Amino acid sequence: MKDLFQIALGITSPWYIESLNFDADQSRLDIFINFQRGTTFKDPEDPAGKEYKAYDTVRKEWRHMNFFQHECYLHARVPRVKRGDNKPRLISPPWSGKLNGFTLLFEAFLLQMCRSMPVHHVSKLTGASDYRLWSLLELYVTTARAEEDYSQLHTIGMDETSSALGHDYITLFVDLEERRTVFVTDGKGSETVKAFTTDLEEHNGKAENIKQVSCDMSPAFIKGVREQLPEASITFDKFHIVKIINEAVNSVRKEEAKTNPLLVGARYALLKNESNLTAKQKAKRDELSMPGLNLKSVRALQIRETFQQIYTAPSKEEFEARLNKWYFWATHSRLEPMVKAAKTIKRHWDGALNWKESQINNGLLEGLNSVIQAAKRKARGYKKPHFKIMVYLLTGKLDFTRVNNACLPTRC
């Protein structure tokens, strides 16, 4: 039996299983491990790489993965050695995890579970406290991020997301090529870009290496990019621009619905793209589009749909020509919300045109944000420090195998 568990646990010389104790009533298995007498140990902090005999030992306990439904704990006398300075140093056994009291394999198991379900649920299933689990996640995220190299980072997307009810935000910076979150910081002002550049330089990156940035039309984001990323061209996210125009369409609809009952219940029939309409919504749009009705809401819809077609232009010159024609149409539509939306785009003209060259957008961020917000809803909210940890855990593609070889690779 000892040999079987020794193989299962990967216990190798000079360590060996000394005894086993199984308590059926407590559903608990305790495994006691020892090392061979006279063994010498390398001190990983000793630059000379010398080996030392144990000066004394300290008894330690580690929580391991369950054997079936039974909780499993490892116990061992851990050696301490003395170098030339005569200070005792504890030698960690090979199964010891990064967090005191867990084995490496158990930590890898907990990390995988915390990616799939709320931390509190993992706590209930495993018996590990919420506090210990958050300490574990923070330790692994912090350690893995310390090993990140951003020297090749040159194209980013940035966007804010709510971390709690009200107006509590964090800003995400995403590597659009590697499709992963590289930095998270509090707030949504220009100072977030400064915090990003500081973190970038701490990971071998350079602000002047950032050539393309995709963001919304936030004045704070624009200011931050211009001040902190001098070589970056800004592309205003086309999904954000379409959202501004869609909001204008909805404003026209709401105003017209006050006097025209045909528009009652027509919100989604007008705001959705045609490919996403249900059969009922498509029938409603066809009804509203009848020529004799001449609805303002339908004219606003046509302005939006024409704008979306601009992005199919084969060249930047054609793209700009179409955009100019669209701007003239929108500003002469006598639909005030559409005029206002068009003038907003005009104020950010270069960033809108830059899309034809950069071809980048924040669609990836929208997808990552949906993953993050879904996790938040499952957990019924997170404290902000915990929320940032989860963002890295779920969307950072951090390489935890550098911290713990028992972890499954996360990058794909």
- pLDDT tens, residue by residue, 38-56: 999 988 878 788 888 998 9
Query: What does the mean pLDDT of the chain come to?
Result: 91
- Over residues 140-152, mean pLDDT: 96
pLDDT at 88: 87
Contact assessment for residue 46 and residue 87, using Cβ atoms and an 8 Å cutoff: no
- The separation between CA 115 and the C-alpha centre of its own chain, rounded to angstroms, equals 11
If we measure between CA atoms, which residue out of 129, 134, 128, 123 comes closest to residue 64?
128
If we measure between CA atoms, which residue out of 204, 216, 195 comes closest to residue 363?
216
| Crossing angle (nearest 10°) for helices 296-309 and 336-347 | 20
Q: What's the rounded Cα separation, in Å, for the pair 169 and 187?
A: 5
If we measure between CA atoms, which residue out of 95, 100, 99 comes closest to residue 12?
95
On the question of pLDDT at 165 being above 80, the answer is: no
The fold of the 155-236+361-381 domain, in CATH, is Nucleotidyltransferase; domain 5 (3.30.420)
Contact assessment for residue 60 and residue 100, using Cβ atoms and an 8 Å cutoff: no
Per the model's pLDDT, the better-predicted residue between 53 and 8 turns out to be 53
If we measure between CA atoms, which residue out of 32, 136, 42 comes closest to residue 81?
42
Quick one: pLDDT band at residue 411, thresholds 50, 70, 90? very low
Contact assessment for residue 233 and residue 354, using Cβ atoms and an 8 Å cutoff: yes
Residue range 10-25, pLDDT digits in tens: 889 999 999 999 998 8
pLDDT at 217: 92
Lowest mean pLDDT among 114-128, 248-262, 354-368: 354-368
At 224, the amino acid letter reads G
Contact assessment for residue 355 and residue 311, using Cβ atoms and an 8 Å cutoff: yes
Quick one: pLDDT band at residue 412, thresholds 50, 70, 90? very low
Q: What's the rounded Cα separation, in Å, for the pair 233 and 150?
A: 19
pLDDT at 379: 75
pTM summary value: 0.85
pLDDT at 44: 80
The DSSP code sequence of 1-37 is: -HHHHHHHHT--TTEEEEEEEEETTTTEEEEEEEE-T
Q: What's the rounded Cα separation, in Å, for the pair 372 and 222?
A: 25
pLDDT at 16: 94
Q: What's the rounded Cα separation, in Å, for the pair 197 and 89?
A: 39
Q: What's the rounded Cα separation, in Å, for the pair 217 and 237?
A: 8
Tokens matching residue 208: 């002047």
49-81 burial, b at 16+ Cβ within 10 Å, e below that, comes to eeebebeeeeebebbbbbeeeebbbbbbbbbbb
On the question of pLDDT at 366 being above 70, the answer is: yes
Quick one: pLDDT band at residue 166, thresholds 50, 70, 90? low
E strand segments, 290-365: none
Residue range 207-225, pLDDT digits in tens: 999 999 999 999 999 999 9
Q: Cα Rg for the chain, rounded, in angstroms?
A: 29
Q: Would you state the torsion angle of the CA atoms of residues 144, 149, 154, 156, taken in this order, to the nearest 10 degrees? A: 10
Contact assessment for residue 215 and residue 159, using Cβ atoms and an 8 Å cutoff: yes
pLDDT at 376: 81
- Over residues 279-290, mean pLDDT: 94
pLDDT at 3: 79
Contact assessment for residue 160 and residue 214, using Cβ atoms and an 8 Å cutoff: no
Per-residue CA distances from 240 to 114, 217, 225, 352 (Å): 32, 8, 18, 11
HSE, CB side, 13 Å, CA atoms: give it for residue 304.
29
- The separation between CA 319 and the C-alpha centre of its own chain, rounded to angstroms, equals 33
Q: What's the rounded Cα separation, in Å, for the pair 225 and 232?
A: 7
If we measure between CA atoms, which residue out of 318, 312, 317, 307 comes closest to residue 341?
307
Q: What's the rounded Cα separation, in Å, for the pair 328 and 346?
A: 11
Residue with tokens 């506090």: 131
